[in-house]
Amino acid sequence: HTRLPPKSRIYLWDYSDGDITKVRDNYFEFKGNVKAVLYILSSDDDPLYFEFKRILQDVPCQMTTKDLVLRKYDLPSDKMHLYFNSVLNLVCGLLGKMGVRPWLLSEELKGDLYVGVDTRPGKVATFTLIDNVGDYIGEARRPVRGSKVERDIMRDTIIQLIMENLRIIPRDRPIHLIVHRDGDVYPDEEQGLEEAISSLRQRKLEVSLTLVSIRESTPYRIFKCDDSNLAPCPPGVFVKLSRHMGLLASAGWPLIKQGLARPLLLEVIRNDRPDYDLQDIVREIYYLSFLHWEGIVKKLKMPITIKYADEYAVFAEKEIDIIGPPL
């Protein structure tokens, strides 16, 4: 169970006209007693967003806007559920950053470690690590020259992530490492993963690899054919295109009332485990797409491996080293 602190432990620090000096001074004066911060901005694109993130990077913090706060007074009664859903997402986001798990998997995933990889071309590559019960473990970031992760960077980062987390991996059998790459997988990245596996083998750690490319920008849409009529598909639908490729609708009707969900294009680049087939890969990506707090009515939902890596890249690009999951 989770309980909010009493009102005597909740403090309000105001700011106006873009001047956050008072907030900054209060935070650094009472930093040792601040457990989390919720800050209210004027809009979604408020330039103070990243300034707050920079100041508060050592403490879990969650952003909302004044529009959400005032929404309660603007919506008709039959639309009030939209407000409550927004508040629920907001609270789940803050609690998630504080280490609370609002969502649980019904059973363990088949792999041992799940790594998400994303890049900001010419700037930074981010890696996030999830375990087989969906817990967020940590992240790493590295500078890159282009769109791909260089071979040595991929090798060294994967080795570091595994060696720093030996306590959560099995020692009596090969480690099953599953890597989700946002977008295309480059030959240098595959080579870097192979070199990481070889290096770990020299340290008496056997690793089997499953490497999956996950593309969110695709021209495809999935429909349900009902009595010769085309209708939006429900979430969880998978269309198999080949032995190694398919489309996954991670969102859909009836959660999405207008428009069509955008499916993910999944391609298995390498799979060392015959007991971990395409159906297993797709199912787990679908499960992982529900473990972050983002609103359920989004037209596209990425698994947390990629979603966290993508969000970290935004902050890493601005040299903001935030604490906890980045959403």
Which CATH number does the domain housing residue 134 bear? 3.30.420.10
What amino acid is encoded at 193 in this protein? L
222 and 272 co-located in one domain: yes
Q: Which comes out higher in pLDDT, residue 222 or 211?
A: 211
Identify which of 24-28, 92-96, 253-257 has the greatest average pLDDT.
24-28
Look at residue 246 in the predicted model and tell me its pLDDT.
Answer: 92
Tell me how far apart the alpha carbons of residues 208 and 4 are, in angstroms, rounded to a whole number.
43
Do 68 and 135 share a structural domain? no
- Asked if residue 155 and residue 74 are part of one domain, the reply reads no
Averaged pLDDT for residues 293-297: 57
Average pLDDT, the chain: 86
pLDDT at 129: 95
Q: Is residue 188 part of a domain?
A: yes
For 37-78, the pLDDT digits (tens) are 988 998 888 888 889 888 888 888 888 888 888 888 988 988
Question: Phi, psi at residue 263, to the nearest 5°?
Answer: -75, 155
The whole-number average pLDDT for the span 225-244 is 80
- Which of the residue ranges 16-20, 149-153, 185-189 would you say has the lowest mean pLDDT? 16-20
The number of domains in the chain is 2
Which residue has tokens 């106006």? 16
Please indicate, yes or no, whether residues 207 and 309 belong to a single structural domain of this protein. yes
Q: Decide if 219 is inside a domain.
A: yes
Provide the pLDDT for residue 94.
83
Domain boundary among 97, 128, 152: 97
Cα–Cα dist 255/253, whole Å? 5
- The C-alpha atoms of residue 39 and residue 47 are separated, in whole angstroms, by 13
Give pTM, 2 decimals.
Answer: 0.84
Q: What angle do CA 116, 118, 248 make, to 5 degrees?
A: 65
pLDDT band of 158, cuts 50, 70, 90: very high
What percent of the chain clears pLDDT 90, i.e. is strictly above it?
40
Interacting residues of 166 by C-beta distance below 8 A, sequence separation 6+: none
Phi first, then psi: what are they for 304, rounded to 5°?
-60, -30
Q: What's the domain range around 123? A: 113-317
Whole-number pLDDT of residue 160: 97
- Six-digit token string for 290: 């529900």
Q: Are 93 and 126 contained in the same domain?
A: no
Per-residue pLDDT, 293:
61
